[in-house]
Chain A
Amino acid sequence: MDQSEIEKLEIPTITVATSAFIALARSTTKSVGLPDMAFVEVPHPMAMISLQEIRSKADQSFAEILKMATQWKPSAGQKRDPERPSYPAERIRFKGTYAALNQMFHEKGWSLGLPIIPPTPEAVGAMLEGTARKPDEVVWVVPPRMGQLTVELVAVLGAMSGCKPEHMPLLLAILKALRHPDYDWRGSTTTTAPTAPVVIINGPILDELGIAYSTGALGGQHRVNIALGYFINLVGDVVGGAIPPDLDKSTLGSRGDLVALVLGENEKANPWKQSYAVERGFKPTDNVVTAFSAYPGTNNTDHFSVKGEDLLNTMSIGVAGVACGFTACLTQYDKPSTFGNEVKYVFLFLGPEHADTIYRDFPTKKAVQEYLIRNAVAPFKTYAPGLCNPPGEFGPYTADTMIPRFAQPESIHIVVTGGPGKQSQIWPTFPTCQRPISVLVEE
């Protein structure tokens, strides 16, 4: 995508990519308006091989680079997807059983493998009753495929995932958060990492719509949370086209890439009283969604700590260790996620019992944040080579010197959620998701 923008400034480019990623690279440039570009393909991999090996790959590809620099021409007759209007959506007739209909949807890339509810005109019409927005409005052009997501299609995908008409304002708010440039939807859905969208919901809408925020909120049985999560990933795969193996490059993937994580904050059980949304400037009566892209989280199962400090100590190891291998040290939340500032914030989903334990000794969230950034430390040698670069004022260090993961309290985001039990979760964030995106649910 960077190279495409350079070409648009009338500067010719050559992009070197490995054989495993050339399809993604070509698709990316196509999706931003350049159906063909000069690529030099080198055998996979480039990363995690010796200096001698990578220099040898440069030697082997240099002649091709010289040739592409002056002689490359775009291939003629680039095949383009047939153009059709974004609205109304194509009406289709299909004869078969419900199972056959589901099979057809899956074969066409219109589902993720889980069954869908057929988006009949009646079901879609009912969904559209849930919003005053016009059905032809394009709410998002979803990368990497750049499919145009109209309000009508929101209703289609909502119906397919099991949402109800009253969920439409929530769906539209979630989409507004996911499409924000700081979320980095394209990177999150095409990376090799097992990322998943995470959506936290605050406000009276939790009880009004029956959104789960207590026992097992991220598990089964909570049909609203599940429908909302399935909707998000239908948008990503069906309209956005982020499908493995060519465009969704996730090495192993995760179940959060099938049904995204949607949960409410357990506001009534929050000992600090102020909800996460209120902390971010909203009113307690506002309905708010907050979205971020996450690496898989880890769990804290501490049945033993009576003091808040002891519990935060056991959490510290998780906070320091999640997303290992790609984390920088002393990361700064208010700086962009660039080389040396990766994974600059984490979320704590505190179970209410853990929250109570911590609250007894830490009456403010700020105190929790400050304690954790001092104590979430890891030996220098456990950061990947090149990713931990302490500034001069840090002083001398060795391979075993403990170095904090974060430099600023704002890197620790605290949400109280779930039911009884001595469990909390720690969710690290995808590096190019620059910050959590909070959006007011309107209508």
Chain B
Amino acid sequence: MTRTKRIPAFAKEKLQTWGILNPAGAIEIKTAALAPRPDTLEGKTILLRWNFKHNGNHYLDRISELLAEKVPSAKVIKIYETDRSTINQSGSIEDSARLAKRIATLKPDLVIGAHGD
């Protein structure tokens, strides 16, 4: 196949100065504070949360076993076994906020979430 080295129409096109508007939109994100972290896991409540992606529960099950072995004084809550409504991929910040409030009622000192794929 032969290729045209130059495209005459483009070659003849004159440069021009364009005035245009930036279409991207400014970003405004209010920064939130991070929660303080515990100094130790001894005696603390650790909540494990699964968002339903395949194997996330099995991963957390094993983490639960390891916590029981290494930090036996910690209380581990596998919320995906006690409240199946939390096994979910939230579709909005509002959904996430509702889930967070539900989790907060259990007063965990740490939440470990497994997100799969």
Chain A residues with CB under 8 Å of chain B are: 1-18, 20-21, 25, 30-38, 42, 44-49, 51, 54-55, 57-59, 62, 65-66, 69-72, 74, 81, 83-86, 89-99, 101, 108-110, 118-121, 124, 141-142, 145-150, 152-153, 156-157, 160, 181-182, 184, 186-187, 192, 234, 238-239, 336-339, 431-434
Interface residue ranges of B98-117 to A (CB < 8 Å): 99-101, 103-104, 108-117
A55 touches B58 (CB 8 A): yes
Most chain-B Cβ atoms within 10 A of its Cβ — which of A2, A47, A96, A120?
A2
- Decide if A89 touches B21 in the complex (CB within 8 Å): yes
Question: A46-B55, A97-B13 known; A35 and B31 CB under 8 Å?
Answer: yes
Q: In the complex, which of the residues A8, A16, A69, A141 has the most CB atoms of chain B within 10 Å of its own CB atom?
A: A69
State the total of A-B contacts with C-beta under 8 angstroms.
278
Would A83 and B27 count as touching, CB distance under 8 A?
yes
25 contacts between A and B (CB under 8 A): A5-B96, A11-B108, A11-B109, A13-B35, A13-B112, A33-B31, A42-B59, A45-B116, A46-B59, A47-B54, A58-B58, A69-B38, A86-B25, A86-B26, A90-B21, A92-B19, A109-B24, A110-B24, A147-B25, A148-B26, A148-B28, A181-B91, A239-B25, A338-B84, A339-B84
Known contacts A31-B29, A35-B31; A1 and B66 CB within 8 A of each other? no
Q: Is the CB of B22 within 8 A of A92?
A: yes
CA separation between A296 and B42, bound complex, in Å? 50
Choice from B38, B52, B56, B113 contacting A70 with Cβ under 8 Å: B38
Q: Which A residues touch B116, using CB under 8 A?
A: 18, 45-47
CB distance from A86 to the nearest CB of B (A): 4
Please indicate the chain A residues that have their CB under 8 angstroms from the CB of B77 in the complex.
none
Q: Chain A residues near B16: list those with CB within 8 A.
A: 95-97
CB <8 Å contact, A434 and B93 = no
Residue among A2, A84, A96, A157 making CB contact with B49, cutoff 8 Å: A2
The residues of A that contact B117 with a CB separation of less than 8 Å are: 18, 20-21, 44-47, 192
Chain B interface residues toward A at CB < 8 A: 10, 13-41, 46, 49, 51-56, 58-63, 66, 70-71, 84-85, 87-97, 99-101, 103-104, 108-117
Q: Is the CB of B22 within 8 A of A58?
A: no
Give the residue of A49, A55, A109, A338 whose beta carbon is less than 8 angstroms from that of B62: A55
CA distance A7 to B99 in the complex (A): 12
The answer to whether B111 touches A6 (Cβ under 8 A) is yes
| Whole-angstrom distance between the Cβ of A34 and the nearest chain B Cβ | 6
Closest chain B residue, CB of each to CB of A37: B34
Do A149 and B25 have beta carbons less than 8 Å apart?
yes
Could you tell me if A120 and B34 are in contact, using CB atoms closer than 8 angstroms?
no
- Interchain residue pairs A-B with the least CB separation, the first 10: A432-B91, A147-B25, A184-B91, A58-B62, A47-B54, A181-B92, A5-B100, A90-B22, A33-B32, A5-B96
Pairwise interchain contact A16-B59, C-beta atoms closer than 8 A: yes
User: Which residues from chain A contact B29 at a C-beta distance below 8 Å?
Assistant: 30-33, 146
On chain B, the residues within 8 Å of A20 by CB distance are: 117
Other than the given A11-B103, A97-B10, A120-B19, 11 more pairs (CB < 8 A) read: A2-B49, A13-B111, A14-B112, A15-B113, A46-B55, A48-B54, A83-B27, A89-B22, A99-B10, A146-B28, A186-B92
Whether the Cβ atoms of A121 and B19 lie closer than 8 Å is yes
Is B34 touching A95 in the complex (CB atoms < 8 A)?
no
Closest residue on chain B to residue A337 by CB atoms: B91
Once the chains bind, are B93 and A34 in contact (CB under 8 Å)? no
Closest to B64 in A: A58
Which of chain A's residues have a CB closer than 8 A to the CB of B27?
81, 83, 145-148
Whether B10 and A54, one on each chain, are in contact in the complex, defined by CB atoms closer than 8 angstroms, is no
Given contacts A18-B116, A46-B54, A96-B15, contact A2 B91 (CB under 8 A): no
A2 and B96 contact, CB distance less than 8 A: yes
Q: Is the CB of A11 within 8 A of B104?
A: yes
Closest Cβ–Cβ distance, residue B13 to chain A (whole Å): 5
Q: Flag if B92 contacts A184 (CB, 8 Å).
A: yes
CB distance from B86 to the nearest CB of A (A): 9
Closest to B47 in A: A11
Known contacts A9-B101, A338-B87, A434-B91; is A16 also within 8 Å of B19 by CB? no
B19 shortest CB reach to chain A, Å: 6
Given known contacts A46-B56, A55-B58, A181-B92, is B70 in contact with A5 (CB within 8 Å)? no
In the complex, residue of chain A having the shortest beta-carbon distance to the beta carbon of B58: A54
Residues of B within 8 A of A339 (CB): 52, 84, 87-88
Q: A3-B113, A18-B116, A65-B112 are in contact. Are A70 and B40 (CB under 8 A)?
A: yes
Within the assembled complex, what's the spacing in Å between the Cα atoms of A156 and B22? 8
Specify which of B25, B36, B39, B90 is in contact with A2 (CB 8 Å cutoff). Answer: B90
Given A34-B34, A72-B37, A339-B84, A187–B91 Cβ distance below 8 Å? yes
